[in-house]
Amino acid sequence: MPHVELLPNSSSAAAPGWTYVVDTGYDPSKVAINPKDRKRAAPRGGPRGENELSARQQTAIARRIAQLERDNDPKQGIAIPGKPSVPKTQNARRIIQYQRQIKHWLDDEEAQMAQQQQAPSSRATAASRAVAQTPRRPSIMPSGPPTPAEATPAQADHAEPEELLLSITSSMPPPLDQTQLQALLSAPPLSYAASHVAPPPAGGPPQRQFCDNCGYWGKIKCLKCGARVCGLECKEAHEATRCLKWA
Amino acid sequence: MPPKGSKKASTHVPPQTLVLDNGAYTLKAGLIPSASANPTYNDCRVLPNCIARSTRDRCSYISSELDGCKDFGELAFRRPVEKGFIVNWEAEKTIWEHEFVEARAGLRCDPRETNLLLTEKPNCPRELQKNCDEIVFEQFEFAAYYRCVGATLNAYHSSDTSSVSSLPQECLLIIDTSYSDTTIIPLYHGRLIQPAVRRLAVGGKLLTNYLKELSSLRHYNMMEETYLLNEIKEAVSFVAPSTAQFSKDLERTWKGRLGNKRELDSSIVVDYVLPDYERSIHGHARPHDPVKSRMRRGLQPLQGPREDLLPQGNERFAVPELLFNPTDIGIQAVGLPGSIIESLNVLPEALKVGMLANVVVVGGNALIEGFMERLEAELRALVPAEYLLNISRADDPVKHTWLGAARFASQPELLKGVLVSKAEYDEKGSAWLAKRFVEGDR
Ligand SMILES: [Zn+2]
Ligand SMILES: [Zn+2]
């Protein structure tokens, strides 16, 4: 896949505020974008010189994604048409009156889990805690077995050779281990945050870069905001529209 | 009604069940008589789960009232479900009452004589589950109720999905790619394997919002035109068959450089003719015509019908590509095939094999042209060659989870095993109820 074509004189700045970028496989999975994923993403971090996103760029990307993920526009405030029916109990009244958004409920859930981790309930079994309450390990594909601390019980029993994408070695898998099966079936749900898939593996293909204006490959980097564009025409459009919009 | 706490309270089951798949974008709903013959997709109504308001005609529309809307311009939406979970009960209650309780409701029922089978997304925060349970019994006063992750009921389709089965399928991997997100849900005999549930935060909502953003940047301000951009997304988007083809299509839709302009490939680029909400309510796509496209820039004839065109080039395939390459816009997640592998890697090998042999895709994004082909090809490449991969799209991916739930509800012996009556709830409370639904007796 041609991520980026190298342009002649790629290391020198072509115009004030602009530079041609040699893309050496910069991988933004090495930086935390989503604050919720910070724990998991952080260990992948590490200085990558000038290819690393600035904190400002990270904020800009996170803001844009939050905007794209939004369910409701709080500014719109659409009222309930007609005459609403009366709440029948105190509980119902309280629940119907909540004006909270999903992020508030999810923040509550995370806070609660953090508390439980500090003072583990004596009733919870070690296995269910390990599955439900520790932040999940990063993806184990395509290489590298999980470290012992990261492994869930399910995986610990099946630390297979690391090279395979799926750790299946023969077409005749061993019969189901009933104890393991029961542990999986009785494990409590993950929290919403913990259910998210891991960032791409560190050794995977680099992130593709697109022109911020027209969507073609982004070969040139804007020095002001870090966005990519495909050429001069889009550079001008970018500066007139989105440059620093999310900063 | 028998006295509180009596044994009879749990054995009286009303003869009909409101089966409700309560999605963020639409409700899928139908009334199912118990012991009914095999329910079908036709028994399901799809209702917008929103209250909409037009700043143009100052009308408000509750759910199915949108059927009568003639002008979707600048229509604003209030959605009770956020990230897949019911958050705003003021709005959801209004919609439920409008569709299920009020005199003119399309699926009118008396909740006190009706069971409610309600589906939810996996990993719902407990406080939100509790709110839901309390509203169901204390505000709506349903006679009996069961709440579960919708995907689990897909196990009650027989394996050819044409009929009812009272025994769940042994291994079933549900991929639910819908409005809020895409979830991967492994089921063993209809039971959720919770530690292996995975969520990719890319769904139809994100794709529509992304298309809205791109179209506004490149053409006109479309930020208030959510309805229209969703319509355009459904009409024109496709998933490229491979990353190599994606690159080729990107070349074919590039305008070129100053002084070296390229002709846009009209086998990919289309012009979407926008509705004017006077003569037309909906728009349509046609192959790109550079002449007409130039005319839209202020050179329209003074006489005769005007046309507003929105060209769609790389947007057509770059938008749904986010399901396979979320990092294209900086979302730090593996794509859908990698997400499936991540889920399977939690399972013992025998279960992995079983799951791969029975993968079923549900949810509206499965309808995007090319989606299934790309998913199968990329998943196949990640799975060892000697393993059977059987992946299929449900006949109606939008209604399929509802149908699984309806088939479950049509079997009194299954339903009785899971329902909780209002009397039991009144006696034991919502904490007990939540625990009962988690542990179940299935
Ligand atoms: Zn460009
Ligand atoms: Zn810039």
A100 chain-B contacts, CB cut-off 8 A: 87
Q: Average pLDDT, stretch B231-237?
A: 98
| Average confidence score pLDDT of chain B | 92
For residue A209, give the ligand nearest its CA: 1
Cβ separation A233–B91 shorter than 8 A: no
Length of chain B: 442
Is the separation of the CB atoms in B50 and B77 below 8 Å?
yes
Q: What is the pLDDT of residues B377-415, one digit of tens each?
A: 999 999 999 999 999 999 999 999 999 999 999 999 999
Burial B203-217 (b: 16+ CB within 10 A, else e): bbbbbbbbbbbbbbb
Task: Quote the minimal CA–CA distance from B32 to chain A in Å.
Answer: 26
Q: Which region among A20-29, B161-170, B291-300 has the lowest average model confidence (pLDDT)?
A: A20-29
Chain B contact for A73 (CB, 8 A cutoff): yes
Q: Average pLDDT, stretch B92-109?
A: 96
d(C-alpha B105, C-alpha B98), whole Å: 6
Q: Average pLDDT, stretch B65-78?
A: 94
Q: What is the pLDDT of residues B166-184, one digit of tens each?
A: 778 899 999 999 999 999 9
Higher pLDDT, B47 or A113: B47
Q: Which region among A15-19, B20-24, B174-178, B310-314 has the lowest average model confidence (pLDDT)?
A: A15-19
Cβ separation A168–B127 shorter than 8 A: no
Task: Give me B426's structure tokens.
Answer: 């009144």
Considering only residues 17 to 56 of chain A, which have any Cβ-Cβ distance to chain B shorter than 8 Å?
28-29, 32-34, 37, 41
**Residue among B134, B198, B330 minimizing CB distance to A61:** B330
Q: What does the pLDDT read at residue B301? A: 56
Ordered domains of chain B (ranges, CATH): 16-155+398-439 (3.30.420.40), 160-203+323-393 (3.30.420.40), 204-321 (3.90.640.10)
> Cα separations (Å) of A178 from A66, A141, A175, B325?
43, 25, 9, 37
Specify burial of residue B149 (Cβ count, 10 A radius: 0-12, 13-18, 19+).
buried
Q: For residue B255, how far is its CA from the centre of ligand 2 (angstroms)?
A: 21
Task: Give me B78's structure tokens.
Answer: 């209030």
Q: What does the pLDDT read at residue B41? A: 96
Cβ separation A208–B327 shorter than 8 A: yes
Specify burial of residue B263 (Cβ count, 10 A radius: 0-12, 13-18, 19+).
exposed
d(C-alpha B339, C-alpha B289), whole Å: 40
Cβ separation A68–B329 shorter than 8 A: yes
Q: Which of B173, B195, B188, B389 shows the shortest CA–CA distance to A176? A: B188
d(C-alpha B44, C-alpha B30), whole Å: 5
Cβ separation B198–A231 shorter than 8 A: no
d(C-alpha B338, C-alpha A117), whole Å: 29
Is the separation of the CB atoms in B79 and A78 below 8 Å?
no
B209 chain-A contacts, CB cut-off 8 A: 67-70
Q: Cβ neighbours of residue B200 under 8 Å, at least 6 residues apart?
A: A196, A197, B181, B182, B183, B184, B323, B326, B333, B334, B335, B336, B339
Phi and psi at residue B96, to the nearest 5°: -60, -45
Q: What is the pLDDT of residues B183-215, one digit of tens each?
A: 999 999 999 999 999 999 999 999 999 999 999
Band the pLDDT of B295: cuts 50, 70, 90: low
Q: What does the pLDDT read at residue B90? A: 97
Q: Cβ neighbours of residue A142 under 8 Å, at least 6 residues apart?
A: A163, A165, A201, A203, A204
Q: Cβ neighbours of residue B278 under 8 Å, at least 6 residues apart?
A: none
Q: What is the pLDDT of residues A65-89, one digit of tens each?
A: 999 999 998 777 899 998 888 999 9
Cβ separation B348–A176 shorter than 8 A: yes
Q: What is the pLDDT of residues B128-158, one digit of tens each?
A: 999 999 999 999 999 999 999 999 999 988 7
